[in-house]
Amino acid sequence: MARAPATFSLKDQLFNAESLGDLAGEFAAGVPGFDHAAFHAAALSGIADRTLMECLDWFADCVEPYLAADFPTMADQLEAAMPAPLDPTLRDDDFGRFIHAVPGVLAVRHGLEDHRDRALDLLHAATQRFSMEFYIRPFLNRWPDEVLARLAIWARSDNYHVRRLVSEGTRPKLPWARKVEVGGAQTLLLLDALHGDQTRFVTRSVANHLNDVAKDDPQTVLDRLAKWDKAGKQSPKELDWMRRHALRTLIKDGHPGAMAMLGYARDVAVDVALEVATPVVAMGDPLDFEVTITTSEAALVLVDYRIRFARPGGKTGEKVFKLKVGKVAPGIPLVLRKVHKLKANATTFALYPGAHAVMVQVNGVDRAEAAFEIT
């Protein structure tokens, strides 16, 4: 019998004998008396029953007995054990390794209350090896004015990982992270200093930060983007990319202001025909449909489709999917075909048999709808 493929585990990929051996070697080189073998065995033994983030706390537990009890000395030891900083010549996607989050865990654990400034110095050094976005947040909540002042200085750092931390660490809805109480005008001032950055790793974070804000306060984001456009501190091409990335949730929701900012007129004069080639679909088979868009005048169009899924108890649920961004011209129909796989065993969204529907929206406005059935 064929063996089922193993389920991918990010935790196992990040934390294993090899990666923890590397971490043990770094501490052995930087901390006198550090027991490489004992740490390695202990750290490995605690992985199985812990989540990814819990593992980081566990590794800090395993390191801590070898460190000084007073935090300033502990911070010196942690810095001595750090690997070389990440390559400062790169511009994107250099995240570092999760194993290097240990200094952040210990900075919060032992420096938050009585050693704020030394702990912030430690985070400044550590974020050049792995982002301290999770660990700056407790300091923001405990010491908002002091930490915001420090972040304003870091926003002008020569190191782009430090600059990125300013944006990423203050994001309102950072995945996996605790909520920060500061926000609004305070963090937008930091983004004002960062939006002209020449490193995509930073500008992506700024755009993601704005996307977080837009979920609760769309107009503030639209106003800020308009302000940055007038400021002229960022290249038009990069600012356009940032704008699209920052407005992506609003665009999915068909927000009129976001649509207008990106040049998509809600009242665009188009006719949309939708034909479903598979009106009855077996669970796990694809939904096949075609969209034909015609117009009497040239227009920029953003075409999405939504599927209205049948849910238990007569309820429904919807998801939005991207289809096409482009131009449509008079006399030249824009024909789009989509084969959408209806996964029967998706881990994030279960399918149920029954009546479903697909809707096509152009520039945020529903233009056509057709029913189909999943059996």
Lowest mean pLDDT: which of 47-51, 144-148, 220-224, 312-316?
A: 312-316
Are 106 and 78 in contact by the 8 Å Cβ rule? The answer is: yes
Q: At what angle do helices 102-111 and 116-126 cross, to 10 degrees?
A: 170
Query: Do 96 and 23 form a contact (C-beta atoms < 8 A)?
Result: no
For 109-156, the pLDDT digits (tens) are: 999 999 999 999 999 999 999 999 999 999 999 999 999 999 999 999
pLDDT at 183 (0 to 100) = 77
Q: Specify the pLDDT at position 24.
A: 98
Tens digits of residue pLDDT in 11-44: 999 999 999 999 999 999 999 999 999 999 999 9
pLDDT at 314 over 90: no
From residue 258, give the alpha-carbon distance in Å to each of 154, 182, 223, 264, 324: 31, 25, 11, 9, 17
- pLDDT tens digits, one per residue of 222-274: 999 999 999 999 999 999 999 999 999 998 888 999 999 999 998 899 999 99
**Quick one: pLDDT at residue 5?**
44
Query: Could you tell me if residue 33 is left (phi over 0), alpha (psi between -120 and 50 degrees) or otherwise beta?
Result: left
Model pLDDT, residue 347: 63
How many Cα atoms sit within 13 Å of 275 on the Cβ side? 8
DSSP-assigned letters across all residues of 203-267: HHHHHHHHHHHHTT-HHHHHHHHHHHHHHT-S-HHHHHHHHHHHTHHHHHTT-HHHHHHTT--TT
pLDDT value at position 346? 67
Is the CATH code 2.60.40.10 the one for domain 270-374?
Answer: yes
The reported pLDDT for the residue numbered 258 is 95
- Host H or E run for residue 292: strand 286-295
Instruction: Specify the domain boundaries for CATH 2.60.40.10 within the chain.
Output: 270-374
Note whether 218 and 255 are within 8 A (CB): yes
Percent of the chain exceeding pLDDT 70 equals 97
* pLDDT band (50, 70, 90) for residue 7: low
**What is the architecture of the domain spanning 10-261?**
Alpha Horseshoe (1.25)
The residue type of 337 is R
**Which pLDDT tens digit goes with each residue over 331-371?**
999 999 999 999 877 666 789 999 999 999 999 899 999 99
pTM score: 0.85
Which single residue is written with the structure tokens 């001595």?
80
